[in-house]
Structure 1
Amino acid sequence: MTREATFSARIGAPVGVSDMADRAVFAEELGFDQVWTGNDVFGTPGLVQLAAIAMRTSRIRFGSGVMDPVTIHPAQIAQYASGLQDLSDGRFLLGLGAGSEVFFSWAGITPDKPVVRTREAVVAIKELVAGRCPAGVPGAGGGWTAKAVLKDPRPTPVYVGALGPKMIEMTGRYADGALPLCLPPTHVFNVMRQLDVGAARAGRSVDELDVAACVWVSIDDDRDKARRLMAHHIAEYSGSLSTDALLANDLDPEEFARTQALMNDGQVEDAIDSVTDDMMRLGIVGGVSDVIDQCGALITAGARHISFGPPMGPNGFEALKILGEDVLPELRRLL
Structure 2
Amino acid sequence: MQIGVGLDRGLGLSWDEYRDLGRYAARLGYDSVWTNASNGRDAMHVCAQWSVATADVVPGGIGTGVSVIPVGYWSPASLASAAATVGEISGGRFVLGLGAGALQDRAFRHSLGLDDRLRPIATMREWLTTVRGLLAGETVDHEGRAITLHGVDLGAPPPRVPVALGALGPNMLTLAGEAADAAALNWCTPEQVSASRDTVAAGARTAGRDPSEVAMIEYVRICVDDDVDVARRAYVRALMGYALARPGVNKTLGYRGHFGRMGFDDALNDLEDRRDRGASESELVDAFPEDLARLVGYFGPASGARAAFRRLAEGLDVAIVRVVAARPEPPSITAVMEACRPD
TM-score by length of 1: 0.83
Q: Which residue of 2 aligns with 1:230?
A: 235
1:67–1:96 CA contact under 8 A, matched in 2: yes
1:119–1:140 CA contact under 8 A, matched in 2: no
Q: Which residue of 2 aligns with 1:85?
A: 87
Deviation at 1:151, TM superposition (A): 2.3
Q: Which residue of 2 aligns with 1:160?
A: 165
Question: 2:289 aligned to 259, 276, 282, which one?
Answer: 276
Q: Which residue of 1 aligns with 2:111?
A: 108
Q: Structure 1 residues 47 and 136, CA, compared in 2 at 3 Å: closer, same or farther?
A: closer
For the residues of structure 2 that align with 1:17 and 1:266, how far apart are their CA atoms?
37
1:290 equivalent to 2:304? Answer yes
Q: Which residue of 2 aligns with 1:255?
A: 268
Deviation at 1:229, TM superposition (A): 0.5
Q: Structure 1 residues 196 and 165, CA, compared in 2 at 3 Å: closer, same or farther?
A: same
Q: Which residue of 2 aligns with 1:209?
A: 214
For the residues of structure 2 that align with 1:228 and 1:136, how far apart are their CA atoms?
47
In structure 2, list runs of 5 or more residues that go unmatched: 56-60, 246-253
Deviations 1:72-124 (A, max 9, x none): 11111100011111222222111111113579639723562122222211111
SS at match of 2:89: helix
1:123–1:140 CA contact under 8 A, matched in 2: no
Q: Structure 1 residues 82 and 45, CA, compared in 2 at 3 Å: closer, same or farther?
A: closer
Greater mean alpha carbon deviation, residues 217-226 or residues 102-111: 102-111
For the residues of structure 2 that align with 1:185 and 1:107, how far apart are their CA atoms?
36
Question: 2:155 aligned to 151, 155, 164, which one?
Answer: 151
Q: Which residue of 2 aligns with 1:172?
A: 177
1:96 equivalent to 2:87? Answer no
Q: Which residue of 2 aligns with 1:218?
A: 223
For the residues of structure 2 that align with 1:56 and 1:28, how far apart are their CA atoms?
9
Deviations 1:214-266 (A, max 9, x none): 22211222211110001110122234753442233111177168449949x89
1:229–1:313 CA contact under 8 A, matched in 2: yes
1:219–1:226 CA contact under 8 A, matched in 2: yes
Q: Percent identity?
A: 24
1:160–1:175 CA contact under 8 A, matched in 2: yes
1:165–1:245 CA contact under 8 A, matched in 2: no
Deviation at 1:194, TM superposition (A): 1.2
Q: Which residue of 2 aligns with 1:133?
A: 139
Deviation at 1:316, TM superposition (A): 6.7
In structure 1, list runs of 5 or more residues that go unmatched: none
1:57 equivalent to 2:54? Answer yes
TM-score by length of 2: 0.81
For the residues of structure 2 that align with 1:95 and 1:161, how far apart are their CA atoms?
7
Question: 2:6 aligned to 4, 7, 10, which one?
Answer: 10
SS at match of 2:33: strand
Q: Structure 1 residues 261 and 199, CA, compared in 2 at 3 Å: closer, same or farther?
A: farther
For the residues of structure 2 that align with 1:10 and 1:275, how far apart are their CA atoms?
24
SS at match of 2:77: helix
Q: Structure 1 residues 104 and 306, CA, compared in 2 at 3 Å: closer, same or farther?
A: farther
For the residues of structure 2 that align with 1:51 and 1:260, how far apart are their CA atoms?
43
2:136–2:157 CA contact under 8 A, matched in 1: yes
Deviation at 1:303, TM superposition (A): 3.7
Number of equivalenced pairs:
322
Q: Structure 1 residues 309 and 100, CA, compared in 2 at 3 Å: closer, same or farther?
A: farther
1:236–1:260 CA contact under 8 A, matched in 2: no
The CA RMSD over aligned residues, in Å, is: 3.2
SS at match of 1:70: helix
For the residues of structure 2 that align with 1:14 and 1:133, how far apart are their CA atoms?
39
